[in-house]
Structure formats: C-alpha cells, structure tokens
Structure 1
Amino acid sequence: MCYIICLLANFTVLFVVGKEQTLHKPMFLLFCMLALTDIGQSTCITPKALSIFWFRSKGISVDGCLTQIFFLYVLGATHSAVLVIMAFDRYVAICHPLRYATILTNARIGKLGLVGFIRAVLLILPMTLLLRRLPFCANRVILQTYCEHIAVVKISCGETTVNRMYSLVVLLVINASDLTLIGLSYGLIIRAVLIISSKKANRKALNTCTAHICVMLMSCTPYLFSTLTQRF
C-alpha cells in the first residue's frame, strides 16, 4: 500500500509539473528529479520485499543482488546530489534574486542533475565490481529485505578489506561533501537573511527553504541510520 501511495504521489508530481507550463521552473524540475529517484529507489526494493513476504521467495541470484545494489546506490547518490542543487537554488534565489533567472536556467539545472548522476555511476560501479570478485560462503543469508553493500560483504568468506575501505571512501565523498555544500549554502543564506532588517522579509526568505529542509531531513536521516547501523 505504501509503495502504491509512493508511486501515485511521485507520478502526480511529474504529471502536474509536465502539464502546467507555469511550473517549468528550476525548483519544480528539481522536485521532478527527486520524484524520479524516489520511484527508482522504492522500485529497487519493494517488489522483491513483497515477494519475500507474500510468496516466501527468499532467494536472489548474486547478479540480481549486485544489480539491486548498483541501482539503489546510484539513485541514492543522485538523490543526494539533487539536494545539493536544491540548496544552491535557494542560495541563489535569496542571496542573488536579481540574477536568479540568468544563473539557474532549466538547461543548467538539467546539466547539474546529469553531472550528479554521472558522479554516482563512477563512484558506485567500482564498488559493485569489487563485490563481484568476492567468494561467498555456504550460508548466504542477508538479515534484511534488500541487498545492502555491507550486509553482502559480511557474508563473504574472502578478504573484504578493500571493499570496506572503498565503501567508506564513497560514503565520505558523497555524504560528507554533499552535507558540507548544503551546510555552506544555508550558512550563506542565514547570513544574508540576518542582514535584512524587515522581519516579514526574513520570514518570507526562510519559508522558501522549509520544503528543502524537510525533504533533506526525511531522506538523509533514515539513510545515514541504516548505513551506520550496518557498518558498526
């Protein structure tokens, strides 16, 4: 049911933005990118999870598991990149409002999204290939409903130091760099808002960031919790 609601909500966002010409703006294009990554991530996990609960189909091939890991992590890294672009969008809108239309065009937003996707593929592909070379023991049981990288590494009976180190590097590169850029953007936004003397203008400026902050908290918190729990 939650999966269906997720699909309906995200496809509604895509339909409304695509249909309404007045919404063809950078902010709404970013919402569409987030909707696409949400659809992709939920589709990577939910169908297999439902087959486990409904049909007791608990098996998955090694290639199927690695494919799930690849797409799940690529979409997650792309989602993180889109959040960074959203923070930059809010920074330009508040700190350079007169130049907003020239700095952030729809084409430029599309290019930034493509760069985020390419970055994700280049970082995640080696991690998947490193997993492919590992030998696996007889007891290959993952204690969750989807193939998570560290969970798969733990069931290997080979040397996994390289896999663990590389996954930690990827985690730091993606999350640390993205959170730093988001924090920097909001630091500059807060500094610009404090300069404004009008309380009404202050409130209006901060309200434009509320949606992004909520999306970031809802998406980053569960991901970091899951990743750190698996690792430690």
Structure 2
Amino acid sequence: MALKDIILLLHPVIAVTVVFPLMGIVINRALQVRQRRLETVSTGKSKIPPIAGQEHVQLGRWLTGAVVGIVLIALAYAIFSNVFDHQVWLKSSFRVVFIVLLFAATIGSTILLYQAKAKDQNWRGVFATLTGMGLVILGCQDGVYRLTNKWYMSHYYYGITAALLMIFSLAILPEIYKDKTNVWRKIHIAANFLALLLFFGLGMTGTLSLLEIPLTWQKGYINQLYQKQCDANNCLITNPILPDKL
C-alpha cells in the first residue's frame, strides 16, 4: 500500500481500536452510575463505588475528544487529497489558506472547550458552537465523500451528527450537576442514546465506505467505470496490473 492508503486507513483503525472500545466502557460506567443512583434512593446504600461516576465523566470526555479527532482526520485526508490531486493551491490559494486556518480554529475551539470552567457557561456554549461549525463547514468542502443522495446510509452524515451530539453533551456536562430538576440529565441521556444508535449505524456505513472508496492503485479503473467506458455488453477496461508487493 502507498502512504496515502495508510493515511486513509487511520480513521477506521482508530475507530476500531480506540473509539468503540472506549464507548463500551463509557456505557458500562453509565449503567453503573444509574444503578447506584437507584439503589441509593431505594435502600440508602449501594455496592457500586462512588468512583464509577467520576470514571464515567472522565471517559466520556476522552470519548468526545476521540470522536472529534477521528472526524478531523477523515476530513483532513479527504480535503487535502482533493487539494493535491487537483492542485487547488494554484487555482485558489486563498481557499487552501482558509481551510488550514479553519482546521486550526476547530482544533483550538475544541481545546478551549475542554479548558472552560464549569462556571463559564457562555464560553462553553461559544466554544462548542465554534467546534461544531468548524466540523460542518469542513465537511462541506470538495473531496469529502458525503453520499448526499443517499443520506440515510451516509457514513459522513452519521459521523457528523454523532460528533455534534458528543460536543453538545460535553458542553452541558457541568449543568447536569447544577440542575436539581434533572432536566439536563434527561437531555444528556437522550442525546447520548441517539449518539449510540448513530454509532451502530457508523459501524455498518463505515464498512460500506471502505468498499466504495478505492485505494490508490484501484482509482484508475474505478474512474473508467464512472466515465462510462464499461457496460454490461462491451467492457473496455483492461485488467489491472497488480503491484508486486501489496
């Protein structure tokens, strides 16, 4: 495989080895926290240690960072592959500079969101909004495989929506402990339940995307198909010459 293909696989590799295992642990801690709360209310004590809540919060913060990170990696690969393949910097250097600055601003907003203190409610809202806007605007750039005509099975739309929900959950985290009515807690649970469903969808659509996005040596033959040089009756595509070493 070429270096470009290895970079392409960074996104699914990190998702499988980091994000999904981390998500399983976060769900486990969330169930423990709920079970402890119910047992405490009914009997006044619980066998589940109080540290389960702290672990749930900390691991949830890591999960949000990991999700935002792999989304940025996927977008960076798609966007800059298009930039280099079509020499966009020669046609519109301002656009390339804008994209680079937008990546920097999105990463910076994410870091500042993590650094914002519990009492800085307005700043958390600002940084969460800027991070989400950065992901959405980057996702609208050329080169990103969005599959808009089939949005209901698009890995891009599932991933962006899940990332936005995770960012929102991180931003409202301090409000959960301030609110005595449990309204924010219920919103947190609903948002993360929806994100969980999207993660299941991401597992399926991600597998589909790996089949649809060709590796470097395959692109020439795939392009011939899109150029309609091959049909069911008369195929003009030559057999691919495989490299000596894969």
**Of the two structures, which has the highest relative contact order with CA contacts closer than 8 Å and spacing of 6 or more?**
1
Higher helix proportion (structure 1 or 2): 1
Larger of the two Rg values belongs to structure:
2
Please give the range of the TM-score, normalised by the shorter of the 2 chains: 0.3 to 0.5
